Structure 1
Amino acid sequence: MRNLICVVILLMMLTTPINGDRKFVKKICKTTENYELCMEYVWADPRAPEADTRTLAIIMIDTVKAKSKVTDKLIKRLLKSHPDLKVPLEQCAWDYEVVILKTLIKVAYDGVILGDPKFAEEAMTKLPFTTIGCENHFAGHKSPLTHLNKLVGELADVTRDVIRNLL
């Protein structure tokens, strides 16, 4: 009986803070232009229940980075299988490898971690323009990256809005 009481108390302790923290996550996500997308990706991260605003920003930057890596890997596969799209795919590869992953994501992390979020906000504001640029490289062709470019751009917009809570 004593063990059962301990288990019940432990379960109550574990669920109460999560409910309170879910309210905090909802509050921050409501400040974004896409509440549903914010909640979907933030709440999927195990850090979310204990997150402060800075951690939520890091979670979203991590999400943008992960989806950008997925897109970059797809571009590399498509380069091998679609020689007819070589030029736009190479341009998109540069957009993702150099501009997004090596520059904008790094600036965003540094801005949040080092306590100067205006640089992180600016990086996430610029990122969707890079994904649009990738789409535009396919002028005259159907882009095989439309869905991922759109998703990465939308995630960057949500990330920018989360970062604005740090300003």
Structure 2
Amino acid sequence: MGYTTWGIIFLNFFLFLEYTSADLVYDVCKQTRNYTLCTETLKASANSSNADTKNLGAIMIRAARSRATHNLVYISKLMINSTNPDDFKRCLKVCYDDYSLIVKAFIPNALQSLFTGSNIDAAVSILLSADQVMDCQDDNCVELSPSLNDRCNEYADFTQLVADVLRVA
């Protein structure tokens, strides 16, 4: 066999691997509540192209951490720039503490659980992190910052998607 034949065999092998991993992303995401967001999130990570289901779950958990971190920064900016009543400032402090706990405890616990073989515990940690932000959605916060309420809802919805992926992983 010449170099061309080996080159074609080599290329076909890698195309097969890429096709197989892409199929895995689509197969996993078909089993979730939001196929589009799932595939967009996983495809945004360069690591998804050669990931197994467990690593796809880890990518989703890290995406949840990123969303929680963005919300934490947003809340921090609201706290710094707030000229609103003290009730709102207290609410923001609670939200800040909740998101800090998510980033520092819930997300690392979910990753650790996933890699020690307990997808159920990982999913529970992620879903509990969504419950943690319920305090941010009290009446004062919602009235004074609908965008914060929207961010909390988006995070909670995303955690449901992460739990779906972990169920499949």
Q: TM-score, normalised by structure 2?
A: 0.84
**What does residue 149 of structure 2 align with?**
146
Aligned length: 164
Structure with bigger helix share is 2
TM-aligned CA deviation for residue 151 of structure 1: 2.4
TM-aligned CA deviation for residue 5 of structure 1: 8.4
User: Would the aligned equivalents of 2:141 and 2:149 in 1 still touch at CA under 8 Å?
Assistant: no
**What does residue 31 of structure 2 align with?**
31
User: Is the aligned partner of 1:127 residue 2:129?
Assistant: yes
User: Would the aligned equivalents of 1:135 and 1:143 in 2 still touch at CA under 8 Å?
Assistant: no
Q: TM-score, normalised by structure 1?
A: 0.85
**What does residue 56 of structure 1 align with?**
56
Using a 3 Å threshold, how does the CA distance of structure 1 residues 7 and 67 change in structure 2: closer, same or farther? Answer: farther
Distance (whole Å) between structure 1 residues aligned to residue 3 and residue 134 of structure 2: 58
Q: Deviations over 1:13-38 (max 9, x none)?
A: 54432222111111111111111111
Matches within 5 A, 1:1-167: 12-84=12-84, 85-98=88-101, 100-136=102-138, 138-166=141-169
TM-aligned CA deviation for residue 54 of structure 1: 0.5
Which residue type is aligned with residue 158 of structure 2? L
TM-aligned CA deviation for residue 118 of structure 1: 1.8
Identity over aligned pairs, percent? 23
Between 61-70 and 123-132, the greater mean CA deviation after superposition:
123-132
- CA RMSD in angstroms comes to 2.3
Between 139-148 and 78-87, the greater mean CA deviation after superposition:
139-148
Which residue type is aligned with residue 118 of structure 2? D
Distance (whole Å) between structure 1 residues aligned to residue 3 and residue 151 of structure 2: 50
Which residue type is aligned with residue 128 of structure 1? A
TM-aligned CA deviation for residue 152 of structure 1: 1.6
Distance (whole Å) between structure 1 residues aligned to residue 61 and residue 127 of structure 2: 12
Using a 3 Å threshold, how does the CA distance of structure 1 residues 117 and 7 change in structure 2: closer, same or farther? Answer: same
Q: Any stretches of 5+ residues in structure 1 without a counterpart?
A: none
What SS is found at the alignment partner of 2:141?
coil
Q: Deviations over 1:89-145 (max 9, x none)?
A: 1110011002x1122112201110111222111112222222333222615423332
